[in-house]
Amino acid sequence: MEIIGVIKLDPLVGDLRHRNMNQVISNALYDAEQLQKGGVDSILLKNTTPEYLRERRFDSYLGCYSGFDQLAAYAIAAQRVVKNSDVPVGISFLRGFPHNDIFSCIPALSIAKAVRGRFVRVPSNAGKFEDDRLPMYIQENGMDDISILADVEQGTYSAGEPTPYAEIKPDILGIADELVVVGSSIYNLPAPDCVKAFKEALPKIRISAGVVLSDSVPEGDPRFNANPEYGKLSIADAIFLDDHIDKAGRKDAFLVKQFREILG
């Protein structure tokens, strides 16, 4: 089973909380080093949902209040992580609720293309395709070599239901290279039975497990301990570990190794 460690970048340029770009890069490189020492198979970068002044203009191209300053700063940090990593690096771009949908994939793909990222992960509303703009964007910009990992929500699935993927529109199965089954909130990994059901229903596509992409939860939440129950998720092809492997706000190689022992 593969382990993908998630790095949350510090607030970027354009965010009211941004302080120092050098510190953003330094912290990201530290986290990447810890993840690799712990033995992860891949790294996923995600940005902090930005906070702006009220007069911040809505960016019609990105469809949200995350402007090109965010993309530029993200790309700079991502490039340094890619350059200093021996494992594949992926990109996830959070535009801020309620805009975390399939079109979050477009800025993520742009960053990945620029820094030679290997994959992108699309947040939880990934199933809501409305047209063919994304396939056209991928084709026109030569991004076919970047894998797309799309989140699908566990929702109210319970063991025994035959079609947990019924709410996924067919479009997503034609674009996504991998589905990431996420739990019901940012605190919860999906139920192992649900992951198993997805794998049985969709045997030709990789199925991973993770939590909903979001900002960090408070440190010390007991649900993020290296619980042996997580071993049941080893049925998945990969698992995304986010705040599960944080210590004092930064990634910790020892915690990664603990999860490796549990997951096998």
The two most distant CA atoms of the chain are separated, in Å, by 51
**214-229: pLDDT as tens digits:** 654 444 554 455 667 7
* CA separation for the pair 141, 145 (Å, rounded): 11
Q: What is the pTM of this model?
A: 0.87
**62-72: pLDDT as tens digits:** 545 557 788 89
* Structural domain span for residue 174: 2-263
pLDDT category of residue 136 using cuts at 50, 70 and 90: confident
For residue 172, which amino acid is it? Answer: I
The mean pLDDT of 218-243, rounded to a whole number, is: 74
Burial class (CB within 10 angstroms; exposed 0-12, middle 13-18, buried 19+) of 198? buried
Output phi, psi for 41, to 5 deg. -95, -25
pLDDT category of residue 20 using cuts at 50, 70 and 90: very high
Two tokens, residue 259 = 């999860």
**Residue 20's domain is classified under what CATH number?**
3.20.20.70
Number of other residues whose CB lies within 10 A of the CB of residue 255: 20
DSSP state of 244: G
As for how many domains the chain has, the answer is 1
Output phi, psi for 181, to 5 deg. -80, 120
Query: How do 119-122 and 178-182 pair as beta strands?
Result: unpaired
Helix (H) or strand (E) holding 46: strand 42-46
